[in-house]
Amino acid sequence: MSRLLILSALCVGAAALEAKALRAGGFVQALEFKHRLRVCNAYPYAAALDVFRGKEEKLTSDLPMHYKTCKDFQAPLNAGDKLEFKVGDASAGTFSVSDLPNNDAVLLLVIHRHDTLSTAVSFESHVFANLQNAQVVVMDTYKGAAASQIKIKDKAAKGKTSRSEELRYESVVAVNPGEYEVELVDAVGKVNAMTSFNALNRESYVIMRTGIEAKQGPAFPQELVIYPNSAVAAIVKPWWKFW
């Protein structure tokens, strides 16, 4: 009888160990999504900005962000995180992360001037969808009376007609891979700024108008910022479509 009891105990112990092993190395696991943070500094100021998560974690530990620069951060984000922007030891503003998407995504955050009178900041944010095409979000962070449009066109090629289209502010467009030229055009058709733009599939881009007609302090002219500006890609029927 005692031998049977010992065998029974061994069987129960083995079953418990097997169940524990299945729980530890099970094939059902929680999904983990990659949320890449992209920050752009469109705040017209001579001094650079540092970005902190919370009070202590300095995301820009290698180099602060100067005006008209953007940067990708690999630090994982969580809903409720607070991103604080500082100039030296002075706080410029804080952005709170709300809900995050249940998929891989690029989270774009742009800091810029709130108005022409004060030095207060504002934030613009956008979550890029996970799509095959290149995506472009178009933002206007300029503060002042000057009116300008952003236009995109095929890169000039000998013997070919260059098509042109307006990129509306506060819009998102899907762009086929290829080489383009982006222009900042005023109300009378004068081109105030122009830059090349190379679009790649599965990349997410921001095109911004920056600058300010400050009532107090220095003024900054209208300029175009494109980030990232990818290396030249193979051209495949370059054109775009609006969402």
Tens digits of residue pLDDT in 178-200: 999 999 999 999 999 999 999 99
Which of 24-38, 90-104, 143-157 ranks highest by mean pLDDT? 143-157
**Is residue 5 in some structural domain?**
no
pLDDT mean across residues, the chain: 84
Q: Residues 79-114: pLDDT tens digits?
A: 889 999 999 999 999 999 987 777 778 899 999 999
Q: Give the sheet arrangement for strand 164-167, strand by strand.
A: 164-167, 148-154, 178-186, 191-199
**Residue 17 within any structural domain of the chain:** no
On whether residue 207 sits in a domain, the answer given is yes
With respect to residue 15, please indicate whether it lies within any of the assigned structural domains.
no
CA distance 6 to 157: 87
* Angstrom distances, CA of residue 172 to CA of 78, 127, 135: 25, 11, 7
pLDDT of residue 232: 52
Domain assignment present for residue 18? The answer is no
Contact 219, 196 (CB under 8 A): no
Q: Give the end-to-end CA distance of the chain in Å, rounded to a whole number.
A: 77
Of 18 and 149, the structure prediction assigns the larger pLDDT to: 149
Q: What HEC string does the chain produce?
A: CHHHHHHHHHHHHHHHHHHHHHHHCCCCCCCCCCEEEEEEEECCCCCCEEEEECCCEECCCCCCECCCEEEEECCCCCCCCEEEEEECCEEEEEEECCCCCCCCEEEEEEEEECCCCCCCEEEEEEEECCCCCEEEEEEECCECCCCEEEEEEECCCCCCCCCEEEECCCEEEEECCEEEEEEEEECCCCEEEEEEEEECCCCEEEEEEEEECCCCCCCEEEEEEEECCCCCCCCCCCCEEEC
Residue 78 falls inside a structural domain = yes
CA distances from residue 217 to 117, 199, 214 in whole angstroms, order as listed: 9, 37, 6
Determine which of 133-137, 140-144, 226-230, 238-242 has the lowest per-residue pLDDT on average: 238-242
Least confident of 64-68, 177-181, 210-214, 227-231: 227-231
Domain that holds residue 180: 32-242
Six-digit token string for 6:
């010992």
For residue 1, name the pLDDT band (cuts at 50, 70, 90).
very low
CA distance 171 to 116: 24
Q: Read off φ and ψ for residue 11, nearest 5 degrees.
A: -65, -45
Provide the token pair at 107.
């989270």
Q: What pLDDT score does 27 carry?
A: 61
Question: Is the confidence at residue 169, as pLDDT, over 80?
Answer: yes
- Return the higher-pLDDT residue of 147 and 4: 147
Is this model's pTM higher than 0.85 or not? no
- Please tell me the predicted confidence (pLDDT) of residue 33: 72
Residue 205 is assigned to a structural domain of this protein: yes
Report yes or no on 212 lying in a domain.
yes
Give the alpha-carbon dihedral of 113, 64, 69, 94, to 10 degrees. Answer: -40
Our count of domains for the chain comes to 1
Cα 242–chain centre separation: 19
Q: Name the residue with tokens 């002075």.
A: 90
